Amino acid sequence: MIEERSLLSKVYNGINILLILLLTLLCILPVWYTLVVSISDRAAVAAGEVFLIPKGINFASYQTIINDGQFFRSFFISVQRVIYGAAITFFVVLLMAYPLSKSTKDFKSRNIFMWLLIFCMLFSGGMVPWFMTMKSLGLINSIWGLVLGGGLPVFNVILVMNFFRNLPKEMEESALIDGAGPWRILFGIFLPLSTPVLATILVFTIVGHWNEFFQALILMTKNENYPLQSYIRQVTANVDLTKLDAESVKRLTSLSNQTLNAAKIFISMLPLLVIYPFFQKYFVKGITLGSVKG
Amino acid sequence: MLNRSAYKHYYLMLLPGLVWLFFFNLLPMYGILMAFKDFNPGLGIFKSEWIGFENFKYMFELDDSKQVFQNTVFIAVLKMIGNLIVPLVFALMLNEVKNRLFSRSVQTIVYLPHFLSWVIVAGIMLDILSYTGPVNQLLALFGSDPILFFANADMFPWIIVLSDIWKEFGFAAIIFFAALTSINPEMYEAAAIDGASQFKRLTSITLPSILPVAILLGTLSLGNILNAGFDQIFNLYNPSVYSTGDIIDTWVYRAGLIDMQYGLATAVGLLKSVVGLVLISISYTLAYRFANYRIF
């Protein structure tokens, strides 16, 4: 290892670490602030007395949420959406990636499908035609509109396909000699070897479905069908500031229930914050594999 | 190697994905016809009257179209630059730290904002930057009057760019971390023996090794020049910042789904999609020519 002992390098490294710590702190501060507000006294928050340390700790906001039927309904719609979405994406992407990982020698029409997928990934009809299609398919107010509406996740197909192509050829060849068909090769050989990339697309899908709010906002005509993020948006949405003077903004701020909103926000981000560190080693690998390849 | 009998299995494996693709990617493209029609919901897309490029002509005559285009490009370009430089610099900084536990913990924490939705981040931002919020409290300590951040059109694009960088810099640095760990450590040892200082090693080994990756990522991001970030702006803007914060996507949303000018909104969306497709194709071609980068 390289050792540095000069004063200059000590100062250099010291400042460097200090800046890194500052940036790191900046990343968790908003989350911490939300937690602090959610467990603080409502009046203290409205008076602007709460920042880093909770004041008048209480869990009234969380008790209110427990009795809030709509919050739970939305929460479970989101859970349902994530489970359906992740399961469907997983199998569809896995199945598609295998034939597409073949060379044109082994699967002649491969490139036709490849270009079709790439085209659909890069080009879309836009928001209005999409909405019209969903309407004519009868997917307004349906969970399936949320699960399938985003279209085929082409990027994930490409990620898994590239991973398959980098697996050693010999294993597949020896399996072929033993008389294994495509299904057995995919599920018996490729699947068990592909944990990193499959975990990566699983994370992407879970995060995408959990955090998506806009499709639900326009597909759901009844608020009771909103998933969690759309519900949260409804309670925290920005007000039209043009019509308000400074005084009324102040009044409005103290009226809106900041502690309750903070508690809702905190609960809605908690699931992802708890799971992402466990997937970290996979998505780091998955991103590296999928992006910069010579 | 493989015989023809494998083909029917391949098609079977592709089938579910192709069905999905057909209904939710290809079918909406049929609606593009609306851009060239005087769309009447009662008649449907097919029976509505053709009007050629009327919708496009009208779009260019609108007062806000130039402004909306400028806002989009301004915000998108600043984001492209910021989201390249900040992660790069951050990765270089963290690379100088030799303590593995420290650097791993820092990495985990800076990935965090990426996993929050814009609904959540916007909710927190509206609170922190509110009239009585902590930022204004802090400013008050320095004797400044409170600022209505989200009513200030001059500040709005910068708030958008900075919060986007805040959210994504850690996650975007993953690529650079990977590139940095693939540098041969023997180069550093040799340089140290030759008496190169820590700073000298940074400028003459680390930077040149990582520059190609940065250039490649910069090239690939060119296709995003019309993507200023719908989810983010949609959750943060309000009419008082439309002059600087309204972008193509938010405009299309309001024109199409709120004001129900279907033909016009489809035309604008289509133009954006076509320009985006051309730009992405150019950037991918460049990346392929000069860096041998391929997506498949």
Q: Least CB-CB distance to B26: which of A114, A120, A161?
A: A120
Domain edges within chain A: 68-290
In a domain, B158, yes or no: yes
Residue B140 contacts A where some CB pair is shorter than 8 Å: no
Q: What's the 3-state SS for chain A? A: CCCCCCHHHHHHHHHHHHHHHHHHHHHHHHHHHHHHHHCCCHHHHHCCCCCCCCCCCCCHHHHHHHCCHHHHHHHHHHHHHHHHHHHHHHHHHHHHHHHHCCCCCCCCCHHHHHHHHHHHHHCCCCHHHHHHHHHHCCCCCCHHHHHHCCCCCHHHHHHHHHHHHCCCHHHHHHHHHCCCCHHHHHHHHHHHHCHHHHHHHHHHHHHHHHHCCHHHHHHCCCHHHCCHHHHHHHHHCCCCHHHCCHHHHHHHHHHCCHHHHHHHHHHHHHHHHHHHHHHHHHHHHHHHHHCCCC
Residue A252 neighbours by CB under 8 Å, 6+ apart: A239, A244
Q: Least CB-CB distance to B28: which of A37, A133, A284?
A: A133
Rounded to the nearest angstrom, the minimum Cα separation between A288 and chain B is: 6
Q: Which helix (H) or strand (E) holds B49?
A: strand B49-50
Is the CA virtual torsion A228, A211, B234, B123 positive or negative? positive
Q: In whole angstroms, give the CA distance from residue B225 to residue B216.
A: 16
Rounded to the nearest angstrom, the minimum Cα separation between A44 and chain B is: 12
Identify which of A194, A13, A153 has the alpha carbon closest to the alpha carbon of residue B96. Answer: A13
Q: In whole angstroms, give the CA distance from residue A206 to residue A204.
A: 6
For residue B27, list chain A residues with Cβ-Cβ distance below 8 A: 133, 137
Size of interface A-B (CB pairs under 8 A): 317
Eight-state DSSP code of residue B145: P
Residue A80 neighbours by CB under 8 Å, 6+ apart: A143
DSSP helix/strand/coil, B216: helix
Give the number of other CB atoms < 10 A from CB of residue B4: 7
Q: What is the pTM of this model?
A: 0.91
Q: In whole angstroms, give the CA distance from residue A275 to residue B291.
A: 35
Q: Least CB-CB distance to B148: which of A116, A211, A241?
A: A241
Q: Tokens 């023809």 appear where?
A: B4
In a domain, B251, yes or no: yes
In a domain, B68, yes or no: yes
Give me the helix-helix angle, B207-220 and B262-291, nearest 10°. Answer: 150
pLDDT the model gives residue A293: 45
Q: Least CB-CB distance to A269: which of B24, B120, B146?
A: B120
If one counts the domains in chain B, the total is 1
Per the CB < 8 Å rule, is B13 touching A24?
A: no
Chain B CA closest to residue A229: B119
Per the CB < 8 Å rule, is B31 touching A33?
A: no
Chain A CA closest to residue B127: A258
Chain B CA closest to residue A232: B119
Per the CB < 8 Å rule, is B24 touching A33?
A: no
Question: What's B123's domain CATH number?
Answer: 1.10.3720.10
pLDDT the model gives residue A1: 44
Per the CB < 8 Å rule, is A229 touching B120?
A: yes
Q: In whole angstroms, give the CA distance from residue A233 to residue A74.
A: 12
Chain A CA closest to residue B295: A158
In a domain, B82, yes or no: yes
Identify which of A52, A47, A23, A24 has the alpha carbon closest to the alpha carbon of residue A36. Answer: A52
Distance set, CA A214 to CA A87, A161, A179, B153, B253 (Å): 22, 29, 49, 24, 11
Residues listed for chain B: 296
pLDDT the model gives residue A294: 34
Rounded to the nearest angstrom, the minimum Cα separation between B224 and chain A is: 11
Paired tokens of A186: 């995919």
pLDDT digit string (tens) for chain A, length 294 residues: 445 567 888 888 899 999 999 999 999 999 999 999 999 998 888 888 888 899 989 999 999 998 888 999 999 999 999 999 999 999 999 999 999 999 888 899 999 999 999 999 999 988 899 999 999 999 999 999 999 999 999 999 999 998 898 888 888 888 888 888 899 999 999 999 999 899 999 999 999 999 999 999 999 999 899 999 999 998 876 555 555 566 666 555 555 688 999 999 999 999 999 999 999 988 888 887 755 443
Tell me the fold of A68-290: MetI-like fold (1.10.3720)
Is residue A46 a contact partner of residue A258, using CB atoms and an 8 Å limit? yes
Cα A15–Cα A18–Cα A24 angle in degrees, nearest 5:
145
Q: In whole angstroms, give the CA distance from residue A100 to residue A271.
A: 34
Q: Least CB-CB distance to A265: which of B20, B123, B273?
A: B123
Q: Which helix (H) or strand (E) holds B171?
A: helix B156-181
For residue A19, list chain B residues with Cβ-Cβ distance below 8 A: 93
ipTM of the complex: 0.90
For residue B236, list chain A residues with Cβ-Cβ distance below 8 A: 238
For chain B, 296 residues long, the average pLDDT of each consecutive 10-residue run is: 76 97 95 89 84 90 90 97 96 92 95 96 92 88 90 95 97 92 88 86 89 88 92 94 94 92 92 94 89 76
In a domain, B130, yes or no: yes
Q: In whole angstroms, give the CA distance from residue B265 to residue B257.
A: 9
Per the CB < 8 Å rule, is A95 touching B14?
A: yes
Domain that holds residue B50: 5-25+40-291
